[in-house]
Structure 1
Amino acid sequence: MKPAFDPVTLAIPFFVLAIVLEIILARLGKAKAAYETKDAATSLLMGLGSSIAGLFTAGLIFGASVWVYQHRLFDIPMTAIWAWVVIFFAEDLTYYWFHRISHERRFWWASHVNHHSSQHYNLTTALRQTWTGGVAGTWLLWLPLSFIGFPPAMVAIQKGISLVYQFWIHTEAVKRMPRWFEAVFNTPSHHRVHHARNARYLDANYAGILIIWDRLFGTFTPELDEEPPRYGLVRNLGGFNLFHVAFHEWIGIGKDLMKARSPREVAGYLFGPPGWSPDGSRDTSATLKAKWRARTGQGG
């Protein structure tokens, strides 16, 4: 269930116009933007499918949020300016940890990986969203905000504001923002790093709106002009089948669980980092970065 004021729904016309504008500017040679018809269509259809899939878990999420809010610690009014300031920071910090967990633990990566599956980086990539996020339960991370006392509608609105903000950073058309802005906010430059499959850039820049969390928790990596980001997955899918894009990692988990020989292996395949294997024969982000450092002599 959505709040009466839904930033994402209101922003849809802006999304469409911005995508069309980016395509036109790229065709005219006025902006950097690589588009492939099948890739862009996949992103748009994944976004549509995500909205439809969300309807199946919306009631559960809304009911859980309301139940938690009924047991809240404090009464926080939606009309107070200070409350919106606090929820802005609190929700953004929650998003950082959701995003980080979604990269570092395979079970939640399975519902997030599709967002990174495009080998292009343009505004349609922002719309390539999960079909299984509700089932994966990442929404549970936002329940403590309602337990503290923020009304569920307030939390939902701020989540929507964050999603709308993150749309514009999925572009190569903007090289750098002013230095002060780059220091505080998530930007196209920071988020290009996040979508890159270069070993240098793996598992970095998890920010939603504020890049300060990455700087604070040691996950910030700057974009370097001498090493342009290469987009997609470490092992790209090689196709545009919607169901493969949406479910391939879940299928991979299932196959691995079928051959697990101990509870330790079950736990590793489910909650270890993506790429985990009992004998260490498969690469994880950590091993890929270690190999890169050994090869280039870069520091840790």
Structure 2
Amino acid sequence: MPNFPNIILYAIPFFILAMLLELYVTTKQHIKTYQTKDAFTSIAMGLGNVILGFASKILVVFVFFLIYDNFRIFTIPVVWWSFVLLFFADDLAYYWFHRVSHECRLFWASHVVHHSSEYYNLSTALRQTWSGGFYTFIFWLWLPLLGFHPAMILLQMSVSLLYQFWIHTEAIQKMPKWFEAVFNTPSHHRVHHGSNPIYLDRNHAGILIIWDKLFRTFQEELDYEKVTYGLVTNIKSYNLLKIAFKEWWQLLIDASGKRMSVKHRILYLFKPPGWKHDGSGKVSNDLRKEWLKNNTNL
């Protein structure tokens, strides 16, 4: 078992210093990115994620080793070039996890937590799910199956998570063009956190933005369309339990409604957020098409 450090724990002091620096810079720029209750809520959700993460990590490690020890196709050595391969493989896995988390309500129920803040700052990066760690790892199961050692996979997943911290800011407008073309940036990720119809379910990248361009989910940040952060219908609460589990409760209510077929009950789990069995709902693609129809300047 390779002995890799838990880089997330080592990064906690950096997170704190970075948030203080961002607060100073944005205040000097007269940009109001922080609201006290919202920021402390995000930090509290992050701490809850870390605590529950100890339990979910046991499950993830067990399943990864079960596949690696019994079903792996190859044995990929722990050397420099395998980390290069893993970098791209992990980033692709993250893209599809992230995309499905927006297009399938079963996964949105946990991921919605990260989008529940109406502010966009480094503390928002810490607003993480309390439930997703117990099942979203399925998008990475093909990596131990290929033959990547579980310790390598967990390390690379942490690297990806660390990278995504710094892009949750309004203090940085644009990176150099070559960087914007290849990597996920604050500008690209601001789009992802937007509730504007044109921005919904776009830019699912982890580290590389190339997957969004390849699979046609990329949307550039528009000068004339300022990002409105949060959800289409915001939670409007600082209650941690409500933020963590409200969507799960609403999903249960929708799927257990009266006069509904078994098929429709199941579809509530797998259809996108906003879908209704009676056709009365609107999903993000519907909202996006309406926006495009009313805005001819694109």
CA contact (8 A) 1:22 1:33 kept: no
Q: Distance in 1 between matches of 2:116 and 2:250?
A: 15
Please name the residue that 1:142 is paired with.
Answer: 140
Please name the residue that 1:108 is paired with.
Answer: 107
CA contact (8 A) 2:203 2:212 kept: yes
1:72 aligns with 2:72: yes
Q: Distance in 2 between matches of 1:257 and 1:208?
A: 31
Q: Distance in 2 between matches of 1:275 and 1:50?
A: 26
CA contact (8 A) 1:33 1:172 kept: no
Partner of 2:145, secondary structure, is helix
Shift of 1:25: 2.0
Gaps of 5+ in 2: none
CA contact (8 A) 2:113 2:127 kept: yes
Please name the residue that 1:120 is paired with.
Answer: 119
CA contact (8 A) 2:256 2:265 kept: no
Shift of 1:85: 0.5
CA contact (8 A) 2:105 2:270 kept: yes
The residue correspondences of 1:209-228 to structure 2 (distance < 5 A) are: 209-228=207-226
Shift of 1:184: 0.2
CA contact (8 A) 1:171 1:188 kept: yes
Gaps of 5+ in 1: none
The residue correspondences of 1:184-263 to structure 2 (distance < 5 A) are: 184-259=182-257, 261-263=260-262
Please name the residue that 2:24 is paired with.
Answer: 24
Shift of 1:269: 1.0
Q: Distance in 2 between matches of 1:252 and 1:271?
A: 14
Please name the residue that 2:271 is paired with.
Answer: 272
After superposition, the CA RMSD in angstroms is 1.5
CA contact (8 A) 1:73 1:148 kept: yes
CA contact (8 A) 2:91 2:207 kept: yes
CA contact (8 A) 1:87 1:158 kept: yes
Q: Distance in 1 between matches of 2:151 and 2:62?
A: 12
Please name the residue that 2:7 is paired with.
Answer: 7
CA contact (8 A) 2:37 2:238 kept: yes
Please name the residue that 1:41 is paired with.
Answer: 40
CA contact (8 A) 1:111 1:130 kept: yes
**Paired positions, count:** 295
Q: Distance in 2 between matches of 1:57 and 1:121?
A: 27
Shift of 1:222: 0.2
Q: Distance in 1 between matches of 2:271 and 2:52?
A: 26
CA contact (8 A) 1:3 1:157 kept: no
Q: Distance in 1 between matches of 2:153 and 2:30?
A: 36
TM-score, with normalisation over the residues of structure 1? 0.95
